[in-house]
């Protein structure tokens, strides 16, 4: 019972020891993956925002979508992403932090450039809307006298308009050169014009055309630098650096993890070995205990264990006020058995009597608290009794002695019929006779010899013979 519980607790220990270490191992692995995934998600978000902005930039530029609300909300999302990114980059190492700073800087630059693009683009759109309107206003102001010159102006303005839109769509340098030429021609033509309001209108037209042309180049530059995507390059660089760093980290921690696993495995085996060894030792110990306490031939308690028991018994009797008796049993005529029938038969006889003394004796459980039978050696046996009552002990001892006599004399078998076998018994009582083990045994021995002398096959109390 106790042994199995011990083994169980050892098993639990064996399981519990590696568990926290395994947990540390797993959580460190997960942590690594978590931080890796976090950085990747963040970089992906930055990339996505960047792509989104490029998309809106191009759609705005090609007039597919002409309001900036989308760009504005994309910029707002970008600010938020950038804030997350900056918060993340605080924890990075020097190299990566510098790279992250670069990315962050480019990001802000990009947002600034987008602002510039919006401003320029709105101006361009304004001119684009205004030029046709102005041309209509100018046409309405013409009088019919100067058909020829007016015709020229109208044609030129038509050309300017067409080419502004062409430029808007295709942006070819050849068209651009012609455009400047036409604007110059227009300027020369209105130099001779007298109608002041007409001149003002055409002048406005020319200024808008010129503004358009100059802003167009600026806008093209802004868009070019926006689409050059230095951000993407720096971001990829950062990405590579982070992956490299993570790989190194993982490798470094992997070695630690391997050591951890080895440690756990070794620990487990050591604990297992301990358990197995303990079991082996336990078995050995019990075996030795049995060997040291039992008589090898009969299986009864041997002299040593009997003395221990007697010692305990005397001590407990003294404390509790109990009484006890030892009955010394010595076989009569046993030497003849050995001599005539051989030692083997003698041993068999001893075994038989031992079995009888353990199984056939009747102990009254109401009166006898404990009892024990032992073989002291040779043909000597001893029976220990313990009782609560002083008056009972002698009666009980007599009763048991009577039974023991019967065990040793009656119906031993045909083999022994030729020999007269019996037993002589001596009884010593404690505490009345003595409280000392040696003395008690000696007294019982003396009583036994009295029985032998009195003609064998009987029992005597030491107290009666004194």
- The site for other proteins (CB under 8 A) is made up of 66-69, 71-73, 75-76, 79, 112, 115-116, 118-119, 121-130, 133-134, 200-201, 204, 207-208, 211
Q: Least Å distance between CB 67 and other proteins?
A: 5
CA within 13 Å, CB half, 252:
7
Q: Which is nearer to other proteins, 65 or 380 (CB)?
A: 65
Q: Least Å distance between CB 86 and other proteins?
A: 14
List the helix and strand counts (H, then E) for the chain: 14, 5
Q: Which is nearer to other proteins, 77 or 261 (CB)?
A: 77
Q: Which is nearer to other proteins, 112 or 172 (CB)?
A: 112
Q: Least Å distance between CB 100 and other proteins?
A: 21
DSSP state of 301: B
Evaluate whether 148 touches 174 at the Cβ level (below 8 Å): no
Q: Which is nearer to other proteins, 72 or 267 (CB)?
A: 72
323: helix, strand or coil:
strand
Q: Tokens at residue 283, please? A: 């078995």
Q: Tokens at residue 245, please? A: 């760093």
Q: Which is nearer to other proteins, 221 or 335 (CB)?
A: 221
Evaluate whether 333 touches 421 at the Cβ level (below 8 Å): yes
Q: What's the CA gap between 169 and 175, in Å, rounded? A: 11
Q: What's the CA gap between 334 and 405, in Å, rounded? A: 14
Q: What's the CA gap between 359 and 403, in Å, rounded? A: 11
Q: Tokens at residue 428, please? A: 């010593």
In 273-404, where do the E strands start and end?
Answer: 323-332, 368-377, 380-387
Q: Which is nearer to other proteins, 67 or 224 (CB)?
A: 67
Q: Which is nearer to other proteins, 201 or 387 (CB)?
A: 201
Q: Which is nearer to other proteins, 187 or 288 (CB)?
A: 187
In 225-379, where do the E strands start and end?
Answer: 323-332, 368-377
Helix, strand, coil percentages, rounded to 5, for the chain: 75, 10, 15
Q: What's the CA gap between 461 and 74, in Å, rounded? A: 116
Q: What's the CA gap between 107 and 84, in Å, rounded? A: 13
Q: Least Å distance between CB 232 and other proteins?
A: 24
Nearest to 158 by CA among 138, 188, 144: 138
Q: Tokens at residue 323, please? A: 């009484």
Q: Which is nearer to other proteins, 207 or 244 (CB)?
A: 207
Q: Least Å distance between CB 183 and other proteins?
A: 15
Q: Least Å distance between CB 118 and other proteins?
A: 4
Q: Which is nearer to other proteins, 209 or 447 (CB)?
A: 209
Q: Least Å distance between CB 270 and other proteins?
A: 55
Cα dihedral 90, 94, 96, 97, rounded to 10, equals 30
Q: Least Å distance between CB 244 and other proteins?
A: 35
Q: Least Å distance between CB 84 and other proteins?
A: 14
Q: Least Å distance between CB 98 and other proteins?
A: 24
Q: What's the CA gap between 215 and 128, in Å, rounded? A: 12
Long-range contacts made by residues 243-251, C-beta under 8 angstroms, separation at least 24? 245/93, 245/96, 246/32, 246/35, 246/36, 246/39, 249/32, 250/32
Q: Which is nearer to other proteins, 112 or 339 (CB)?
A: 112
Q: Least Å distance between CB 165 and other proteins?
A: 15
């Amino acid at each position: 019972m106790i042994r199995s519980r011990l083994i169980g607790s050892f098993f639990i220990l064996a399981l519990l020891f590696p568990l926290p270490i395994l947990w540390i191992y797993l959580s460190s692995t997960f942590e690594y993956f978590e931080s890796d995934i976090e950085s990747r998600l963040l970089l992906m978000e930055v990339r996505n925002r960047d792509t989104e902005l490029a998309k809106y930039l191009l759609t705005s530029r090609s007039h597919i979508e002409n309001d900036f609300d989308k760009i504005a909300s994309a910029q707002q999302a970008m600010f938020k992403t950038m804030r997350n990114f900056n918060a993340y980059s605080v924890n990075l190492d020097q190299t990566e932090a510098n790279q992250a700073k670069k990315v962050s800087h480019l990001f802000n630059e990009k947002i600034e450039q987008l602002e510039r693009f919006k401003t320029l683009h709105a101006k361009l759109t304004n001119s684009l809307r205004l030029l046709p309107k102005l041309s209509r206003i100018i046409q309405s102001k013409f009088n019919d006298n100067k058909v020829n010159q007016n015709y020229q102006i109208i044609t030129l303005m038509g050309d300017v308009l067409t080419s502004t839109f062409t430029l808007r769509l295709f942006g070819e340098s050849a068209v651009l050169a012609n455009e400047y030429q036409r604007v110059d021609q227009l300027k020369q033509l209105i130099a001779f014009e007298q109608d002041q309001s007409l001149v003002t209108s055409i002048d406005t037209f020319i200024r808008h055309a010129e503004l358009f042309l100059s802003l167009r180049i600026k806008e093209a530059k802004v868009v070019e630098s926006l689409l050059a995507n230095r951000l993407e390059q720096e971001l990829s660089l950062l990405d590579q650096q982070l992956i490299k760093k993570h790989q190194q980290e993982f490798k470094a921690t992997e070695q630690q993890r391997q050591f951890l696993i080895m440690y756990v495995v070794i620990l487990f085996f050591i604990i297992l070995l301990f358990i197995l060894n303990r079991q082996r030792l336990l078995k050995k110990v019990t075996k030795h205990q049995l060997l040291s306490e039992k008589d090898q031939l009969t299986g009864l308690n041997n002299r040593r264990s009997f003395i221990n028991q007697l010692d305990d018994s005397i001590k407990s009797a003294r404390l509790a006020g109990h009484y006890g008796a030892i009955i010394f049993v010595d076989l009569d005529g046993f030497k003849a058995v050995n001599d005539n029938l051989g030692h083997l038969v003698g041993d068999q006889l001893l075994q038989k009597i031992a079995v009888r003394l353990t199984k056939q004796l009747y102990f009254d459980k109401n009166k006898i608290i404990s009892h024990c039978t032992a073989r002291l050696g040779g043909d000597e046996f001893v029976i220990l009794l313990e009782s609560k009552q002083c008056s009972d002990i002698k009666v009980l001892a007599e009763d048991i002695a009577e039974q023991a006599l019967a065990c040793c004399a009656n119906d031993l078998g045909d083999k022994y019929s030729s020999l007269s076998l019996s037993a002589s018994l001596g009884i010593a009582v404690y505490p009345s006779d003595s409280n000392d083990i040696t003395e008690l045994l000696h007294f019982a021995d003396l009583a036994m010899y009295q029985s032998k002398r009195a003609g064998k096959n009987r029992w005597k109390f030491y107290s009666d013979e004194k």
